[in-house]
Amino acid sequence: MKSLQVIEMNGQRVLMTAQLAEAYGTDNKHISDNYKYNQERYTEGKHFYCLQGDELKSFKIGYPEISDTLKYTSILYLWTEKGAWLHAKSLNTDQAWEAYEMLVDEYYRLKEQRQQSEPQYELPSNFAEALRQLADSVEENHRLRETIQEQAPKVNAYQTFMSAVNVLPVNEVAKSMELGPNTLFSLMRDWKLMFKSQDGYNIPYQHFIKAGCFTVKTKTFWKNGVSLNSSRTFVTPKGQDLIFRLARKYGLVKGG
């Protein structure tokens, strides 16, 4: 079986019908028929996700590597580990069960196993704190505290770096791309990453918020005795990577 394109939905790995069919040694129609004839056993959000319309367009943008294979697809089913188990049960062939076990071990739970095997550390929030933690762990406390003072000029640089890898407002992302914020908002609407609300705010589609690409912060304020809401979109590192990949795809920025 060839290496599988990793697809994630709501924090878990999923597979397209074509990927599942290939793994089980069958075809798309057989998988679709299994679902159709046993539809009452499947629960959306537990066994599968069904994407269509704007949600499907957003998915294609988020996975440009496979978007060409979905050019004429109007409805896309994505199967979770539990959904794959139901299909294996319906097929009930040795190849299907062997493939299911392989998928569980090498695809669906691989990310989870890696996270469990990696040591968990509480990272310092800034450069000075990192040095203080190091000082507490060794006997040469006094010498290391002097080092903190010597390294003070690096603190600002470190904090700038931490800001760069965390969530950024859209105008900062636009600045890094040498674009105006209004231009970037317009591009993200064209790319179906966000839409304009009735209040005129640019709001990311829920699919991308759930995928961890954006966060939206809303605050309430009073104007002329009326309660109003103001929303601001922030872009996570995952969202920044997506925007830059799309910008490179359309020749707006240079880079590999």
H helix runs in 177-223, sequence order: 181-190, 206-210
Q: Residue 132 in contact with residue 148, Cβ under 8 Å?
A: yes
Mean per-residue pLDDT for 64-68? 83
Would you mind telling me the total number of residues written for the chain in this entry?
Answer: 256
Half-sphere exposure of 165 (CA within 13 A, CB side): 6
- What is the share, in percent, of the chain residues with pLDDT greater than 90? 30
H or E stretch covering 230:
strand 226-235
26 contacts 68 by C-beta, under 8 angstroms: no
DSSP at 236 = -
Q: pLDDT tier at 153 (50, 70, 90 boundaries)?
A: low
Instruction: Show the DSSP H helices in the chain as ranges.
Output: 17-24, 28-37, 53-62, 64-67, 81-91, 94-103, 110-117, 127-136, 141-150, 152-165, 170-176, 181-190, 206-210, 237-249
160 or 67: which leads in pLDDT = 67
pLDDT at 27 over 90: yes
For 153, the 3-state DSSP assignment is helix
Alpha carbon distance 256, 249 (integer Å): 10
Contacts of residue 12, defined as CB under 8 A and 6 or more positions apart, other chains included, come to: 80, 81, 108
What the block records as the tokens of 184 is 């970037």
CA 64, 70, 75, 79 dihedral sign is negative
pTM across the whole model: 0.47
Amino acid at 78: L
Per-residue pLDDT reduced to its tens digit, 156-210: 444 444 444 568 899 999 998 888 999 999 999 999 999 988 778 889 998 898 8
What is the model's pLDDT at position 186? 94
> What residues does each domain of the chain span?
7-117, 127-165, 168-249
Rounded Cα distance between 174 and 182, Å, is 9
Cα angle, residue 211 at apex, residues 82 and 46 outer, rounded to 5°: 20
**For residue 46, what pLDDT is reported?**
93
Q: What is the pLDDT of residue 160?
A: 42
